[in-house]
Amino acid sequence: MKEDSQPDLISKKAVALKYVPGESEAPVVVAKGRGKVAEAILDKAKENGVPVQEDAALVEVLSKLDLDEQIPSELYQLVAEVLTYIYRADRLASGREEDESW
């Protein structure tokens, strides 16, 4: 690995959330990491068809939470916006119409 690429790899962060309505009140942190661990999280998401949204500021905040911890209510709006984006992207990718009811 080239030396000049190491800072990028080390600074890369990823956080994975899981939300199942009825199972928890809010999304839960199920994986987080930086560097090679972040790359592994992103690779696993892509392998499993899990949409990925990049938001450095949100990842910075979420990375401070513990594993299996629900996101705090202060982050509900931000995470809801990300989930809405992902939901719409998933619907468009699968060919379903945007105006179908959720």
Spell 48-69 as b/e; 16+ CB within 10 A means b: eeeeeeeeeebbebbeebeeee
Digit-coded pLDDT (tens) for 37-63 = 999 999 999 999 888 888 899 999 999
Mind listing the domains of the chain with CATH numbers? Answer: 3-93 (3.40.1690.10)
Residue 28 β-bridge partners: 18, 70
Which residue in 60, 39, 52 sits closest to 83, CA to CA? 52
Digit-coded pLDDT (tens) for 75-89 = 999 898 888 887 887
| pTM listed for this prediction | 0.75
